[in-house]
Amino acid sequence: MRIALEEAQAAADKGEAPIGAVLVDPATGEVLARAGNAPISRSDPTAHAEILVMREAAQRLGNYRLTGLTLVVTLEPCAMCAGAISHARIGRVVYGAEDPKGGAVAHGPRFFEQKTCHWRPEVEAGVLGAESATLLRDFFRARRKPAKAEAAF
């Protein structure tokens, strides 16, 4: 999760929502891919951190099935990412902060609990969740602050 948090901070430094992800082979401990959110910089609405690491690992491994791997992400995955996780056959998902508004694992559609979900990973929530939530909260709070009015002369 520390690596995912580094990726989240790097994304924030580029003006992207501070969400980071890492895909790990638990058998070897090898980090297969790491990324931060990049939909703005890539002009790609699907460039969520989770999608980027799955794409990179699939290319690296030469297989779209990522069975047995562990996805670590700083924020509860959305419906799009949960669907991709299921299709990729990710073995385990570990996430930090919960996302009551846009999350799809413990909130919203609870994707992995649906009868139509054909692959359900093991899920662990709340790992460094407070740290992940603080990074997100601070990023968006800074964006909402009104700019100081210039003094009138």
114-139 pLDDT, tens digit per residue, is 999 999 999 999 999 999 999 999 99
Distance CA 72, CA 49 (A): 10
Report whether 69 contacts 58 (CB < 8 A): no
Nearest alpha-carbon partner for 135 in 37, 42, 51? 37
Report whether 1 contacts 94 (CB < 8 A): yes
Tell me the pLDDT tens digit for each residue of 51-73: 999 999 999 999 999 999 999 99
Tell me the pLDDT tens digit for each residue of 72-105: 999 999 999 999 999 999 999 999 999 999 999 9
Residues in the chain: 153
Distance CA 99, CA 73 (A): 12
- Predicted confidence (pLDDT) at residue 153 exceeds the cutoff of 60: no
Catalytic residue among 6, 16, 30, 50: 50
Nearest alpha-carbon partner for 71 in 25, 9, 102? 25
Report whether 21 contacts 53 (CB < 8 A): yes
Catalytic residue list contains 6: no
What is the per-residue pLDDT for 148? 53
Report whether 10 contacts 19 (CB < 8 A): no
Alpha helices of 62-148 — where are they, by DSSP H? 79-88, 129-144
Please state whether the predicted TM-score (pTM) of the whole model is above 0.85: yes
Provide the edge-to-edge strand list for the sheet that holds 92-97: 30-36, 20-25, 70-75, 92-97, 122-125
Percent of the chain with pLDDT over 70: 95
Distance CA 84, CA 128 (A): 23
CA atoms within 13 A on the CB side of 136: 18
